[in-house]
Structure 1
Amino acid sequence: MVTRGLGPRPARIVVSGLTAVVVGAAGLATTVTSPATAADPCVTAFPESGLTDGQAVEGLTVSKGTDPESGAFTGTISGAPLQDGIAPGVDLILAELTSPAVDKNGIWAGMSGSPVYADPEHTQLIGAVSYSLNEGSTHLAGITPASAMLDLMPAPAATVAIPRKVADRLVADGVATRAQLANGMRPLPTPIGVSGLTSRRFDQLAGWLDSQGPVANATIGSTTSTADASDIVPGGNIAASLGWGFVSAAAVGTVTAVCGNDVVAFGHPFNYTGDSTYSLHPADAVAIVPGATFGGYKLANLGDRVGTISDDHLAGIHGTFDAGPTAYDVSSTATYQGRTVSGTTHVTVADLVTDAGLANAFAASDRAMDKYGKGTARASWTITGKRRSGAAFELTHSDVYTDTYDVSSAPLMDLAMQAYTLLENQSEAVTITGISTATTISDEAVSWRIGRTYWRKNGAWKRVTAKSPAVVRAGRTANIRVELYSRDAASRYVTVPVTASRKSAGRTGRLALQGGFSGGEDYYFYDSSEEFVDAYGDSMVGGSVPESIPAVLEQLRADQRNDTIASTFTVRGTATKKRSLALGQVVSGSVLVPVVVRP
């Protein structure tokens, strides 16, 4: 099977902010500990009416490690809050900020949620850094008011326009250029960082996460972060994860406030889903990377899961310290030349279980092979799921795949087809709850193609042609010899038995031979003295209904394996006879053999 990469899955357009990029999270445990700040008094929202132009402010954020003081910043309020600047009833506060990291990178992706205070004791919370200018790096930050964050008030918003008078003053003060202000302010980027995939696999799979927001690849971390729940403090790192483990996908931002077991962060939506099922993690910042795709952004390692992000609204995300949301596991094992690699990814967004299963399988095969290349893969997998009624179902499949370009991709095309056939069926909504794969890979990439056919006459094999059909005696079984050829090996021959019933005497039949792998193949047809027409009912007459889930599962289980030749012998007026010949190697091609049945 030859593939040139998996195409991106169609993605819906989602207006969302982004935070930072995850470097690594492999092998994370799920221990939950209480945050050190759980007993601290809850922060108070500083009234917007009390803000004045030029008022001094200070805030906390992490530029490296887990200490919020590492990126501490100061600044001043720029003018009065923009009334309804974010949404009706939600103003936008502007402030010019400064710190060594801000001076170097501007307001960076990953600062989302950084608390801004009106007092040195950090008890009067003005709000969270959450917006920046659309153009270039800048010291000018948009702040979501604390009152809105603590209430998590939802309302639609994408960018915030800067009023002309405010823009004139900001330009005059040298805070920003006219070009930067022209497009208003936007939520700080919060890219979903993906770890565990090579750059090629990231390119193949990144489109499947587009519905969750922009995606950024990251280098795989070699160790798990030691950050824990005690590091989730105002100004500290926080990660919202779609899945973690062998392959991870998460966005990292900043904690705005902690009150008992409750946490608010980001200051803008992640995916704006309202209710959400992300897992909550601490994170260890590795570095602030200047420039690049999203302007400056933060690289970070995830710590263990410590809770659930249950709300994703306009003013930010809200989570609690607990055992975490329900996780669906996808697991993979791959073996190559005696080296076996296994890994499991825990997925908390049900819609992404299939995508994570594909990514997990890719990661296992790539780590086992430690290269891209040709070969043969003997793969098996199990897909588990639930129907609309809650009833469980399971689909198990195994097959052989040969690829001359990228053997790791070959099995996953079929896995994706089966999973999405189930998900996109028109009968009832289903949920995929797990995927497990096992693959053994070798370097040999020999595949076969059906060639010429022969029948036995007078003790010798005679080639079948349009003018010289095969002959079988009624009531007996005869063998048809089939040539298999390959560019990588000498031709080989197999025999396919054909049994003609007594009732078929004097008629001409048709033997159809079909290789298991049919992608991009040619078909060869021989003339016959009889015409065969398959009659199909018109589904438009009287209407129709989609196939049921049991029917879809039955069809998928009946799929022909790539390493078999299916034979179908048909004679009009008699029962069709079907057989399957297993070869153990991939075979393609198709041929129709005319067969004359003699008394």
Structure 2
Amino acid sequence: MASRPLRVAASATSTLALVAAGIVASATGAQAAPEDVNTDLCVGTPVWTGDLTAGQAVRGLTTTRGVTPEAFTGTYVDRLDNGAGRGKDILLFQMEGSRITKTDKDGNVNVDAGIWAGMSGSPVYDQDDNLIGAVAYGFSYGPSVIAGVTPAKDILSIEGTPAAAPAARKVTISASAGKRIAATTRTTSDDASVPKTLPHLTVPRVSVGTPASAANSFTKKSRQLKKKYGSALPKFVPGATTTELDPATAIVPGGNIAAAWSRGDVTFASVGTITAICGTKVFAFGHPDNFDGDKATGTFHAASAALIQEDSADSSFKMANIDTTPLGQITQDRLSGILGVLGKLPQETTVTTNTTLAGRSTQAVSHVSAAQALPTAVASQVYNDILDGLDAYVNGGEAIASWTIDYTPRGGKRATFTRTQRISYDSFLAEQMPFDVASDVEFLQTASDQKITINSVTIDNELKPDYNALRIAKVEYRKSTKVGKKTVNTWVTVKSGKKVSAKRGRTLPVRATLRPASPDSVAKPLVTRLDLKVNKWAVGTGVAAISGGQSYFPLNEGSDEEFTIVMDEEDEEEYYFESDSPAATLPEVLAALKAQPRNDRLIGEQYYTNSNGTSKVSGTKVSTPAVTRGSFFLNLSYKK
């Protein structure tokens, strides 16, 4: 039977939290010696720094409903030396009370929700009210009353931590502690077995205002988040609505706290528990959130617990309402917890979307403090706007969008980049529409050799409920033939790949017939000219590519599509970028962004070789009244 590994209890990002916790019940507490209590780490909160004895009684505080903490009790089980990393021990406790356990009508105490996600940071005290530590670890499978506690001295020292020691991948649990843990773990899938190791778990994230499935989809497209988290990419769970709370009653030891990437119409946050308040400093979680060290930039907020959702097969979790008014900034995100400073606020990027549909206008605003989450927040807000505007998910539609990115390069002047695009799909417009603007934001953030700070992103979006797209149905070229003294011009239909003669230094007349892309499209058929100018130095053979703007770059329909501008490296007007390519200059990045074609264009390009053997590209484009799709190729034979 597989063992149940102990997991790092999550500080749920956004509204749900994964946390491991534990406190102790009953038994006799050891008499505190003066040298075992530190009163300097947190003024007003004495901290226990001595040893603990097996069975020693403790009490703790956590919040299961609203903002008022409630008590739980526990007893000390064992210590895992270096359990969280080099010099970072984990204290094991058996907990009781609150929603951890419940008592039946016969007086028997049984596991209820066990140690739940969102309990991370719950303070644990000895019988003399000395702070021992914070709940921070729990089991991956099944409700359990055993929790791992991060010592208070480690939590309260994170501000002076130069660098976090690497956490051990697996920590050995003693046989006696393993048996005690197994005896207190309840699952419905199998019998409890003795755990031997304590692997860390990924902290779950919660999304408020955006469906978790959509937030997860956009997160998977972000190269920044993939680079930061690798295989442990944050996964959002559904979040609850926001509310207004009084910080004086909500920000207390044992109370809820939300550490946020973004706030407003799109809120991404981790919900856990406050361990201690030392003046303007708020300590929480007992384990990392994003593990950003002193580079943490998130805001923190008050939160109200809605309920503890029991899960008999996995860990139970807390659902909470988040007050989107920021109370301060997370300034430290370390192995032993997070630290927020009241009244201090980080630089944020304001995301504003203005959406109109049939004369109805709406506006949404979010503030993003974590730069790596900006593309995901932008995509999520646009997604929400389309769902709200169309009031439909599977439906297609059309959007004419214009966005302005206000940015500042390090050491440079503030500037803006603006682009307009027509976007139309026959289904799931909400999923497709956000890609363009999110791609531009992430590309500008990451592709340059200069650090770019995005100050704001403003998106004006005109929605229509109809699919409006054309496709290339036929291509013709005009052939001139001498009949006596007259020249007769005839339009000749050609198939893609057909060889056509082209006179150097002249114009090859071409026209395309465009028809509705599908029976659902409201676009009207049309015929448009797209004449190709032939360079007078072109020799041998070449290729003419005629494409609709939406087909100019291949669209990867799978979930692996990323928020990145990828261009043809053979096109001398564009810059080819991949994540492992050398960084480009800012002018190259801006040129690449500006070179992206509009979807409502018909584009003609020639690829040829001149007389000195140099490969060249020339092109032309015309506007169309709808998104245009399809590609067509002509093989050109150059003649005098």
Tell me which interval the TM-score lies in, with the shorter structure as reference length.
0.7 to 0.9
Aligned with 1:271 (options 287, 290, 293): 290
Q: Given residue 452 of structure 1, which amino acid in structure 2 is its aligned partner?
A: V
Q: Which residue of 2 is the match for residue 110 of structure 1?
A: 118
Q: State how far apart, in whole Å, the 2-side matches of 1:148 and 1:572 are.
A: 68
CA 1:595–1:453 in structure 2 vs 1: closer, same or farther (change >3 Å)? same
Q: Secondary structure at the match of 1:182?
A: coil
Q: Deviations over 1:462-517 (max 9, x none)?
A: 32449996999998x8964431122336642123456789x79xx99987543212
Alignment of 1:38-53 (within 5 A): 42-49=44-51, 51-53=52-54
Give the percent of matched residue pairs that are identical in Structure 1 and Structure 2. 30
Q: Deviations over 1:344-382 (max 9, x none)?
A: 221111222222212222122222212121122211212
User: How far has the Cα of 1:444 moved from its partner?
Assistant: 2.3
Q: Secondary structure at the match of 1:408?
A: helix
Q: Which residue of 2 is the match for residue 324 of structure 1?
A: 345
Alignment of 1:97-246 (within 5 A): 97-103=95-101, 104-119=112-127, 122=129, 124-152=130-158, 154-158=164-168, 159-168=170-179, 174-176=183-185, 179=192, 181-185=194-198, 190-207=203-220, 208=222, 211=229, 214-221=234-241, 223-246=242-265
Please say if 1:19 is aligned against 2:52: no
8 Å contact kept, 2:47–2:131: yes
Q: Which residue of 1 is the match for residue 513 of structure 2?
A: 483
Q: Given residue 428 of structure 2, which amino acid in structure 1 is its aligned partner?
A: D
Q: Which residue of 1 is the match for residue 578 of structure 2?
A: none
Q: Which residue of 2 is the match for residue 558 of structure 1?
A: 595
Q: State how far apart, in whole Å, the 2-side matches of 1:469 and 1:387 are.
A: 48
Q: Which residue of 2 is the match for residue 378 of structure 1?
A: 400
User: How far has the Cα of 1:335 moved from its partner?
Assistant: 2.5
8 Å contact kept, 1:135–1:183: no
Q: State how far apart, in whole Å, the 1-side matches of 2:510 and 2:571 are.
A: 28
8 Å contact kept, 2:140–2:314: no
User: How far has the Cα of 1:326 moved from its partner?
Assistant: 1.4
8 Å contact kept, 1:21–1:300: no
8 Å contact kept, 2:141–2:314: no
Q: State how far apart, in whole Å, the 2-side matches of 1:553 and 1:195 are.
A: 33
Q: Secondary structure at the match of 1:417?
A: helix
Q: Secondary structure at the match of 2:75?
A: strand
CA 1:16–1:327 in structure 2 vs 1: closer, same or farther (change >3 Å)? farther
Q: Secondary structure at the match of 2:10?
A: coil
Q: State how far apart, in whole Å, the 1-side matches of 2:617 and 2:58 are.
A: 84
Q: Deviations over 1:388-446 (max 9, x none)?
A: 43444432111112211222333433334333433443644434443222222212223
Q: Given residue 478 of structure 2, which amino acid in structure 1 is its aligned partner?
A: W
8 Å contact kept, 1:142–1:185: no
Q: Given residue 518 of structure 1, which amino acid in structure 2 is its aligned partner?
A: S
Q: Given residue 156 of structure 1, which amino acid in structure 2 is its aligned partner?
A: P
Q: Secondary structure at the match of 1:96?
A: strand
Superposition RMSD on alpha carbons, in Å? 4.0
Q: Secondary structure at the match of 2:298?
A: strand
Q: State how far apart, in whole Å, the 2-side matches of 1:510 and 1:135 are.
A: 61
Q: Which residue of 2 is the match for residue 449 of structure 1?
A: 471
User: How far has the Cα of 1:181 moved from its partner?
Assistant: 4.1
CA 1:567–1:76 in structure 2 vs 1: closer, same or farther (change >3 Å)? closer
8 Å contact kept, 2:100–2:113: yes
Q: Secondary structure at the match of 1:250?
A: strand
Q: State how far apart, in whole Å, the 1-side matches of 2:288 and 2:627 are.
A: 49
User: How far has the Cα of 1:226 moved from its partner?
Assistant: 2.1
8 Å contact kept, 2:407–2:456: yes
CA 1:90–1:492 in structure 2 vs 1: closer, same or farther (change >3 Å)? closer
8 Å contact kept, 1:17–1:270: no
Q: Which residue of 2 is the match for residue 463 of structure 1?
A: 492
Q: State how far apart, in whole Å, the 2-side matches of 1:316 and 1:535 are.
A: 50
Q: Deviations over 1:78-108 (max 9, x none)?
A: 25x3444434433322221111400120011
8 Å contact kept, 1:240–1:278: yes
Aligned with 2:628 (options 578, 587, 598): 587
Q: State how far apart, in whole Å, the 2-side matches of 1:432 and 1:197 are.
A: 22
Q: Which residue of 1 is the match for residue 32 of structure 2?
A: none
CA 1:200–1:274 in structure 2 vs 1: closer, same or farther (change >3 Å)? closer
Q: State how far apart, in whole Å, the 1-side matches of 2:143 and 2:505 are.
A: 85
Q: State how far apart, in whole Å, the 1-side matches of 2:93 and 2:608 are.
A: 84
CA 1:216–1:556 in structure 2 vs 1: closer, same or farther (change >3 Å)? closer
Gaps of 5+ in 1: 1-14, 25-39, 523-533
Q: State how far apart, in whole Å, the 2-side matches of 1:381 and 1:364 are.
A: 14
Q: Which residue of 2 is the match for residue 284 of structure 1?
A: 304
Q: What count of residue pairs does the alignment treat as equivalent?
A: 542
CA 1:131–1:558 in structure 2 vs 1: closer, same or farther (change >3 Å)? closer
CA 1:371–1:220 in structure 2 vs 1: closer, same or farther (change >3 Å)? farther
8 Å contact kept, 1:16–1:270: no
Q: Deviations over 1:105-156 (max 9, x none)?
A: 0011111111111136x3x112111122344211112222222222125433
User: How far has the Cα of 1:257 moved from its partner?
Assistant: 0.9
8 Å contact kept, 2:120–2:284: yes
Q: State how far apart, in whole Å, the 2-side matches of 1:132 and 1:576 are.
A: 61
Q: Given residue 586 of structure 2, which amino acid in structure 1 is its aligned partner?
A: I
Q: State how far apart, in whole Å, the 2-side matches of 1:170 and 1:471 are.
A: 82
Q: Given residue 526 of structure 2, which amino acid in structure 1 is its aligned partner?
A: R
Q: Given residue 564 of structure 1, which amino acid in structure 2 is its aligned partner?
A: R
Q: State how far apart, in whole Å, the 1-side matches of 2:8 and 2:504 are.
A: 72
Q: State how far apart, in whole Å, the 2-side matches of 1:597 and 1:313 are.
A: 67
Q: Secondary structure at the match of 1:234?
A: coil
Q: Which residue of 2 is the match for residue 494 of structure 1?
A: 528
8 Å contact kept, 1:329–1:346: yes
Q: State how far apart, in whole Å, the 2-side matches of 1:347 and 1:446 are.
A: 33
User: How far has the Cα of 1:595 moved from its partner?
Assistant: 9.0
Q: State how far apart, in whole Å, the 2-side matches of 1:496 and 1:112 are.
A: 64
User: How far has the Cα of 1:287 moved from its partner?
Assistant: 0.6
Give the TM-score normalised by structure 2. 0.74
Q: Which residue of 2 is the match for residue 297 of structure 1?
A: 317
Q: Given residue 137 of structure 2, which amino acid in structure 1 is its aligned partner?
A: Y
Q: State how far apart, in whole Å, the 1-side matches of 2:66 and 2:98 are.
A: 16
Q: Secondary structure at the match of 2:347?
A: coil
Q: State how far apart, in whole Å, the 2-side matches of 1:118 and 1:380 are.
A: 60
Q: Given residue 102 of structure 1, which amino acid in structure 2 is its aligned partner?
A: I
Q: Given residue 72 of structure 2, which amino acid in structure 1 is its aligned partner?
A: F
User: How far has the Cα of 1:386 moved from its partner?
Assistant: 3.4
Q: Which residue of 1 is the match for residue 559 of structure 2?
A: none
8 Å contact kept, 1:379–1:399: yes
Q: Deviations over 1:142-199 (max 9, x none)?
A: 222222222125433255432123334566xx44599554143456874211112235
Q: Secondary structure at the match of 2:444?
A: helix
User: How far has the Cα of 1:577 moved from its partner?
Assistant: 7.4
Q: State how far apart, in whole Å, the 1-side matches of 2:633 and 2:86 are.
A: 70
Q: State how far apart, in whole Å, the 1-side matches of 2:511 and 2:590 are.
A: 34
8 Å contact kept, 1:16–1:272: no
Q: Given residue 548 of structure 2, which amino acid in structure 1 is its aligned partner?
A: G
Q: Secondary structure at the match of 2:64?
A: coil
